[in-house]
Amino acid sequence: MGEAVADVTDHRLQPLIALGRSYIRWAVEDPAVARLVFRAGATGPDSVVTPHPHGVLGAELDRFAAAGALPATARPGADFTVWAALHGLAVLLVDGLGHTDDERAADLQAERLVRAVLTGPAQEETPSAGRPALGSAHTRRLAGPQPGRAPATPGRR
């Protein structure tokens, strides 16, 4: 994902589209490894993946916001929105619940998904009242130990 993003010269939406395409391609090209990673939690708190995919996505969304394409108030949590959508498409394709004709069709679906997912947040002017903050094993690892916080339970914060 990092390499795909680094190859893009347009620093608005195109890096995020490249990131989405690379994630989908990786999952579709090697479904056995993708299933193993998805189910084993290979990007969890003890992951040594560098750069971490969540970090790559976050950095690109930060750049997208800095370019004025995403309001600063919409940036918090946008990484989870994009990640959920891309991961959902990847799982559908890997598990055979979704089908594309070829790599180009998968690329176009990834692009459509990224554009669709970012359309809503890009138009947000203020955060929704009471919008819950999301976290992941990666963001918790980056934040370090928090006094009084129990270890993470999958699916809960």
Q: Encode the chain (157 residues) as per-residue pLDDT tens digits.
A: 878 888 887 767 899 999 999 999 988 898 888 777 766 655 555 555 567 778 889 999 998 999 888 888 888 889 989 999 998 999 888 888 888 888 898 999 999 999 999 887 666 666 666 666 666 676 777 777 766 655 555 554 4
pLDDT at 151: 55
pLDDT at 6: 83
Q: Can you give the pTM of this predicted structure?
A: 0.72
In a domain, 146, yes or no: no
| Contact between residue 152 and residue 45 where contact means Cβ atoms under 8 Å apart | yes
In a domain, 135, yes or no: no
In a domain, 151, yes or no: no
In a domain, 133, yes or no: no
pLDDT at 157: 43
In a domain, 92, yes or no: yes
Residue type at 75? R
For residue 32, the 8-state DSSP code is: H
In a domain, 85, yes or no: yes
Q: How many domains does the chain have?
A: 1
Q: Which domain holds residue 16?
A: 2-127
Residue 113's nearest CA partner among 135, 91, 83 is 83
| Cβ neighbours for 65, distance < 8 A, ≥ 6 positions apart | 71, 72, 74, 75
In a domain, 19, yes or no: yes
For residue 70, the 8-state DSSP code is: S
In a domain, 153, yes or no: no
Q: Which two tokens stand for residue 66?
A: 């800095």
